[in-house]
Amino acid sequence: MKNLKKVDCALLPPCPKTVRNKLQRAHFVSIVWGNTESAHPDGELDPCDYGWQMKGGNYVPVWFSGPSVPCDLFEDEETTDVADQEVQNGTEDDVAEYEESNSESEVEWNDDSGSEDEL
C-alpha cells in the first residue's frame, strides 16, 4: 500500500451497468436529433426506457442501478463464523503448546524490574 500513489478515479472504466445507461441515453438523443424535422422527434418513445428517470417534472440521468458492491465480495455469516472459530482454536492451541514448551525452563515472575538499579 505504501507504493500506491494518488489515483484519479475518473480514469477508471465505468462498470457495465453504467455504460449501458450511458449508451441508452446517447441512443435516445440520437433518435431525437435524427427526427428533428418530424412533429414528434422522440418518436413517442418513453425516455424512462432509455436511461432517464422523471424527478421533479424533469428528466434526469439514471447514473447507476443495482447493488454498488458485488454480492460475492463479502462472505456469508456461516463462512465467517467457521473461519473465526478456526482462528480462535488455532490461537488457543498455539498458546497451550507455548506454555508446555516453556514449563520446563520456567522462571518465576518478579514484579521488581530492577529499574531502581538503573538510575
Tell me which amino acid residue 90 is: G
Q: How far apart are CA 84 and CA 103, in angstroms?
A: 28
Percentage of the chain modeled with pLDDT above 70: 59
Strand 52-55 and strand 58-61: the pairing is antiparallel
Confidence of residue 119 (pLDDT cuts 50, 70, 90): very low
- Average confidence score pLDDT of the chain: 74
Helix (H, G, I), strand (E, B) or coil at 55: strand
N-terminal to C-terminal alpha carbon distance within the chain:
43
What's the CA gap between 85 and 117, in Å, rounded? 46
Higher pLDDT, 68 or 109: 68
19-52 confidence digits (pLDDT tens)? 899 999 999 999 999 988 988 888 788 999 999 9
| Residue, of 61 and 100, whose pLDDT is higher | 61
- At 26 the pLDDT is 93
Q: What is the pLDDT of residues 82-112, one digit of tens each?
A: 555 555 555 556 655 655 655 555 555 555 5
